[in-house]
Amino acid sequence: MTPESPNAPFGGGRRAVRIAVAAGLVAALTAAGAAPVFADGPTPGPGPVAPPNSAAAKLGSQDASLLAEAKADGDKTVTMMIATAPGRTGQVTEKLEAVKGASIGQAYDKLGYVRATVPTAKADAAIAEAQKLDSVHGIDLKQEIRLPDPTPRADSVPGARGAKAGAYPAPGKDTPAKNPYQPAFETGAVGFVQDHPKADGRGVTIGILDSGIDLGHPALQKTTTGERKIVDWVTATDPLADSDGTWLPMTTDAAGPSFSFNGRTYTAPAGSYQVSLFRESETAGGDMKGDLNRDGDTTDSWAVLYDKAKGTVRVDLDDDGNFGNDEELKPYKDGFQVAYFGKDNPDTPIAERIPFVVQIRKDVPMDPKGGDWVGKKADFVSIGVIESEHGTHVAGITAANGLFGGKMNGAAPGAKLVSSRACTWSGGCTNVALTEGMIDLVVNRGVDIVNMSIGGLPALNDGNNARSELYTRLIDTYGVQLVISAGNSGPGVNTIGDPALADKVVSVGASISKETWAANYGSEVSTKYAMMPFSSRGPREDGGFTPTLTAPGASINTTPTWEPGAPVKESGYDLPPGYGMLQGTSMASPQATGASALLVSAAKQQRMKLTPADLRTALTSTAKQIKGAQAYEQGAGLINIEDAWDALRDRATAHEYAVEAPVSTMLSGRLKKPGFGTGLYDREGGLKAGETRTYDVTITRTSGPDKAVWHELKWKNNDGTFKLAGDDEVKLPLNKPVTVKVKAKAKTGGLHSAVLTVDDDRTEGIDKQILTTVVVAEPLTGPAYTVEKSAKATRNATTSYFVTVPKGAKSLEVSMGGLTEGSQTRFIAISPYGVPADPTSTVNCYPNYPNPANTCRPDLRTYKNPLPGVWEIEVESRRTSPLLENPYTLKVKADGVTG
C-alpha cells in the first residue's frame, strides 16, 4: 500500500475512504520529514471524527481505514499481523487456512504471532472470524512507514540558503574521544569506557533493525579487540508481502554445463540449479538511485544461479555468461563472504563499488501471487544491499571503532553488530518487516540488545496494538531490551511515535548541547543544553510515560563509503566520503543503545545477571534532568551511564505496578478502558488557570512481597502545579488497588507536566514513575473568536500556545507577523489528536528561508473544518535565523462559527 506522508492532511482524493481519526499518519524518525503538502491556499484540516470503536475491538480504526483503502484501490490481497495468546496460534491458522486463497506467511507459536495474507474480498469475514477467538489479542494490517532524509543540510534542497559558516574545525583523525561532533560523552559513555576499558561493549552483540549497514566502512570492520564488527547481515523484508525486488524467486530450472536463459546461453559447473535475473533498477528508490555498479546508468542486470543442494549462490558479476568463474556465495554469517557491484578506483577517496551479500529463504508460500501459484512454495535468494545511509549512520553512533582512523568512536566500540534491513525501495519500511525483523533478531540472531530508529505517528498513539504487544513479549520472553527512537513529529504534545509506545521498550528523545549546535551546525545558541525542537513529546494518548529517556540527537558519523562527505553547509568545513552529519531521534536512539550496551558489557564482565527490567530501572532512576525541559518532553532525562552502573552494582531492581488514571482527550473514549490510562492526562477537561482540580490515581503493586509495602511518593520536574491531597507515603498491598489523590492548580496557561515517583526505599532505584500532564487552553470565544500573542522566539527553541476551537467553526486561521527583517521563525499547528497539520521538517514553512521545494505559506494558513477541541500552535526559530532573539506576533482565529 502507498505510504502516507507524516504531514499529509486527512481525507481528500483517493484517501477519502480513510477514517479520519486513524488516518495512518506516519513519520520516519529522522528530522527532515517528508515533502511539504500545503499550498498558499486554504489548508485542509483533520476531518470529522469517526464513531468510536468498541473498547474490545481487536482491529483498530487505523487498520479498518487501511482495509477500506485496499478495497477502494482494488488491491487483490491484504496482509495482516495477528497477536495471539502465546502457544495458541493454531486456532488462528486453522481459521485462516480455511479461507480460499489465504496463506500463512509466518507463525511463531511461542510468541503468539501469525502473519497471513487473504483476498481483500474475504478480509472482512476472515477478520470477523479471527476476532471471535479469545486467543486473538490484536490485529494490525500491513502498512508502510516512510524513512525520509535525515539530513539537516541547508543545501540538501536545491537553491536553499542558510546562515554564515561556523568557527569549529572539521573533525578528523586527531579529534579526541570526547568531542561535540559525536557527543557520546554526554551520556557518560566516553568516560565509562576510559574507567572500564574492558566494558567497552565487548561480549555484547547489538541488533540494528534499519536500512542496512555498509559492510565496507573502515570504522565498522573491527571491534576494539580485533574481532569482526559485523557478524551477521540479513534482509528482514518478505519476498512477496513487501514487494521487495531484491528477493529473487528461484522458479526457473537450469542445469550445467550449459543452459539458455533470458535469451542467451550460460555455462556453469555440472549440476542442477535454479536461475533468476537481478536488475539494479529495483533499487531505484534507495540512495544509490538504481545504479549499483556506479557506471552512471540504471540498466544493468545480472543472472543469479542458485544451487539448492549446496545452499550457495553465484552472481554473474562480469556478465560474461560463465558462472564457472564466479564465486560461490553463502549467507554472510556462514563465512562472511562479501561481493561487490562495480570496481573501485584506489586512487580516489570515494568507493566506486557497493558491497552485497546473499541470503536464502526456503519454501516461501506463493499463494499471494494467485492463479496457478496457489498451494505452491518456492525458494528465494536475496541480494543484500543497503537501502540508504540511515542504518550505517545508526550503526556508527552505536558502535563505530576508529572514526576517521582516530580516537573518535561510537558509544560502544567493542560491541559486535547484526544488520537487519527492514526497508524497501519505495521510501520506507513495512510494519511487517519491522515486526518479523525484530522477532528474527531476538529469537534467531543471538543479539543482546536491539536498536530500531524507525516508527510512525498514528492518531491514537496509546500502544494498544498487535506490534506493541509482540515487542513487549519479546522483551519478557527472551530478555533482550529493545531501544526505539521517539519520533520527529515534535515539539507538539502527544506526538510520540509507534512502536516507541510499547510498554517496556526504551523510547528515546533527542537532546543537544550548545557546543554541538556550534560544531555540527555552525549555529549559536544561548542555552547550554536542551531538547531538539523536532523531538516527539509525550505523553501517550493514555497518559503513559514517554519518552523514557533522552540522548544526543545529532552526530557526525559513518555513512556509505560510496557517498560523498555530507557536513552541514553552515558548519564551514568539508567531510571525506563515508561521513555525514545526520540528526533525529534516529540518532538519539543508538546513543542510548550503545550506552546501554556498555552496561550489559560491564555486567557480563562481572558475571552479573542483568534483566531488561533492571536495566530500565537503573537508566530511568539515574537520568539527569535537563533544565528548562518539562517531563513530557524529556521523560526521565538525559542518560547517565556512570550513575546507572553504580545503581546496577547496588542491585537496582523494581516491583511491577499497574496504574489507572483519568484521561481526557479527543480520543480518550477509544482507549482500552475508555477515559482511563496509565498516566494522568487532562487536555480537553477545560482546566482554567488558578483552578484546583483533584484526580484519582489508582496504583496496584503486582509483584514483590505478599505483605503490604510502604512507598514514598515524590514529585520530580514539577513547576508547582501538582501536589498530593494526602500523605506522601502510601501502603501498597500485593494485587490490591490503592487510590492516591493528585491535585493540579496551574498558575499560568499552557501545558504543565511532572513525574510522580512511587518508591519502595528498600529497593535500589525508583520503582515506578507516573507522568502527569494537564493543559490550560485559551478559548476562542465570540464575538471575535481570536487570540493574539506577541513574544520573542529564541533560535533553536520552541514555544507552544494552546487554544480551544469551538464546535461549528468552518475554518481556523493562523497568521504570523511582526518579524524582524531576515527572521526565520515559523508556526506549526497541531490538531487535538496530537497530529501535526503542517510539515514539521526542518526545511519547510519558514519565512526568509529560500527553499524552492517549500509550498507551506509561512505567514498565513487556513485549516478548513477544524476539529473542535484543544489545538496547539507552536512557534520556533530556525538554527539559521540571523537573529538569536526573534520578535513575532501570532494570531489565531476561528471563522464561521455557528451554533
Catalytic positions, please?
210, 390, 586
> How far from chain centre, in Å, is Cα 651?
31
Spatial separation of the C-alpha atoms in residues 178 and 282, rounded to whole Å: 41
Q: Which three cell numbers stand for residue 247?
A: 528477493
Amino acid in the structure at residue 10: F
Spatial separation of the C-alpha atoms in residues 65 and 16, rounded to whole Å: 10
Spatial separation of the C-alpha atoms in residues 417 and 406, rounded to whole Å: 20
417: left (phi > 0), else alpha (psi -120 to 50), else beta? beta
Please, which residues bridge with residue 893 across strands? Answer: 786, 813
Q: Which three cell numbers stand for residue 244?
A: 521487495
DSSP sequence for 466-490: HHHHHHHHHHHHH--EEEEE--SST
Strands 885-895 and 811-817: antiparallel
For residue 387, the number of C-alpha atoms closer than 13 Å in the C-beta half-sphere is: 29
Q: Is the dihedral of CA 499, 504, 505, 507 positive or negative?
A: positive
* Three-state DSSP class for residue 84: strand
CB-count exposure of residue 872 (10 Å: 0-12, 13-18, 19+): buried
Q: Is the dihedral of CA 881, 885, 889, 892 positive or negative?
A: positive
What phi and psi, each to the nearest 5 degrees, are found at residue 768?
-150, 140
In 3D space, the residue among 286, 234, 584, 586 whose CA is nearest the CA of residue 427 turns out to be 286
Amino acid in the structure at residue 871: W
- Angstrom distances, CA of residue 4 to CA of 415, 431, 898: 36, 13, 33
Spatial separation of the C-alpha atoms in residues 557 and 19, rounded to whole Å: 41
CA angle 63, 380, 123 (to 5 degrees): 25
Q: Prior bond to 852 cis, omega within 30?
A: no
Strands (E), 85-131: 103-108, 113-119
B/e letters for 389-401, b = 16+ CB within 10 Å, e = fewer, are bbbbbbbbbbbbb
* Three-state DSSP class for residue 528: coil
Q: What letter does residue 204 receive in the DSSP assignment?
A: -
Q: Which three cell numbers stand for residue 280?
A: 539494479
- Angstrom distances, CA of residue 885 to CA of 298, 843, 845, 874, 876: 48, 20, 19, 16, 11
DSSP sequence for 162-193: -----SPPPP-TT--SS-SSS-GGGGTHHHHH
Q: Which three cell numbers stand for residue 77?
A: 490481497
Helix (H) or strand (E) holding 530: strand 529-531
CA angle 841, 581, 193 (to 5 degrees): 125
* Three-state DSSP class for residue 91: helix
First-to-last C-alpha distance (Å) of the chain = 40
Spatial separation of the C-alpha atoms in residues 290 and 165, rounded to whole Å: 34
Strands 786-794 and 798-805: unpaired
770 Cβ neighbours under 8 A, 6+ residues apart:
545, 659, 661, 678, 679, 680, 697, 699, 755, 756, 757, 758
CB-count exposure of residue 263 (10 Å: 0-12, 13-18, 19+): exposed
Spatial separation of the C-alpha atoms in residues 104 and 97, rounded to whole Å: 7
* Three-state DSSP class for residue 514: helix
